[in-house]
Amino acid sequence: MRALLPALVCLSLALPPPLPAAGFYFRAQEGWFWYEREPEPVARPEPALPEPPAAPAEPALAGTAPEGPQPLSAQWLRERLGAYRDAAIDDPTPENVALYLYLQRVALDKSSRFAAATQRAVQRDPFLDEITQRPTATFAANLTNRQAGEHRDRILRRLAEQAGVVFFFRSDCPYCEAQAPLLRQLEARYGFSVLPVSVDGAPLPGGAFPRFRQDRGQAQALGVVSTPALFLARPPDAMAPLSQGLLSLAQLQERLVVAAVQAGWISEDEFTRTRPVTADLMLAVDQLPGSLPEEPEALLSALRALARAGALPVTD
Domains and CATH numbers, the chain: 69-124 (no CATH), 163-264 (3.40.30.10)
The DSSP H or E segment spanning 168 is strand 164-169
Q: Report d(CA 157, CA 207) in Å as an integer.
A: 27
Q: Report d(CA 19, CA 2) in Å as an integer.
A: 29
Is residue 238 within 8 Å of residue 159, measured between CB atoms?
A: no
Sign of the torsion angle spanned by Cα atoms 271, 277, 278, 284: negative
pTM, full prediction: 0.60
Summarised one tens digit per residue, pLDDT across range 44-75 is: 655 554 554 554 455 444 555 557 899 999 99
Mean pLDDT of the chain: 81
Summarised one tens digit per residue, pLDDT across range 266-284 is: 998 899 889 888 777 776 6
Reference 288, options 268, 303, 278; nearest CA is: 303
Q: How confident is the model at residue 22 (pLDDT cuts 50, 70, 90)?
A: very low
Q: Report d(CA 87, CA 89) in Å as an integer.
A: 5
| Of the candidate ranges 20-34, 112-126, 295-309, the one whose mean pLDDT is the lowest | 20-34
